């Protein structure tokens, strides 16, 4: 967004360094806070039936905001865009479900086969912490998927993230048994 008003002067602008950049940022923040918001400008702006007749709106700073409809008409791609995908919110858990989820994860991780596979993967990482995380995820995900799906989460990495968020949201309500399960 172009503005007719210059940024406020900063006494340390010529000196360079971190403090200069910080003062410039703070000065810009103060300056921007004084400007009206885009929403306020659009609502207050009169409609212009100007040269092209596309219903542009003139903003207080002299710029024009073009309607989205006119952009689509000009480019001719109105029907080319696929419909937006439906975003399904992740399930939330009750305290009992959270307890069950943690217990089921622990049961899946207790298996001797899993423990052997996990230790082998961690050894193969050779002490590289980033590689350890990657290998741990590769070994854990197949065990996590069935548990996640039982509780309504996706059986993939997104489901793991959603389950972590759902259990973390209940963290303040954890019982001692749940804390033990979570951090075991």
Could you tell me if residue 103 is inside a domain?
yes
- Say whether both 124 and 160 belong to one domain: yes
Paired with 56 in beta bridges are: 48
Give SS3 for 12.
Answer: coil
Q: How many CB atoms lie within 10 A of CB 131?
A: 14
Q: Please give the model's pTM, rounded to 2 decimal places.
A: 0.50
* β-sheet bridge partners, residue 115: none
Q: Are 48 and 105 found together in one domain?
A: no
- The verdict on 102 and 160 lying in the same domain is yes
Q: Which residues of the chain have pLDDT under 50?
A: 10-15, 17-26, 28, 31-32, 39, 41-45, 47-54, 68-75
Is 141 part of any domain?
A: yes
138 falls within a domain: yes
Facing residues of 57 across strands? 47, 65
Q: Range of 27's domain?
A: 18-70
- Residue 133's nearest CA partner among 105, 101, 160 is 160
Q: Tell me if residue 24 falls in helix, strand or coil.
A: helix
């Amino acid at each position: 967004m172009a503005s007719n008003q210059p940024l406020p002067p900063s006494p340390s602008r010529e000196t360079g360094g971190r403090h200069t950049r910080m003062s410039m940022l703070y000065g810009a923040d103060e300056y921007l806070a004084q400007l009206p918001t885009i929403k306020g400008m659009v609502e207050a702006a009169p409609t212009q039936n100007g040269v092209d007749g596309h219903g542009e709106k003139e903003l207080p700073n002299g710029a024009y905001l073009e309607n989205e409809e006119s952009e689509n008409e000009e480019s001719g791609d109105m029907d080319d865009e696929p419909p937006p995908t439906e975003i399904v919110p992740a399930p939330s858990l009750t305290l009992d479900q959270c307890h069950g989820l943690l217990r089921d994860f622990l049961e899946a991780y207790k298996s001797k086969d899993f423990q052997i596979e996990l230790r082998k993967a961690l050894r193969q990482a050779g002490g590289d912490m980033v590689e350890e995380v990657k290998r741990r995820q590769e070994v854990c995900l197949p065990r996590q998927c069935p548990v996640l799906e039982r509780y309504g989460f996706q059986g993939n990495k997104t489901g793991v993230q959603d389950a972590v968020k759902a259990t973390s949201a209940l963290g303040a309500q954890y019982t001692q048994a749940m804390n033990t399960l979570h951090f075991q």
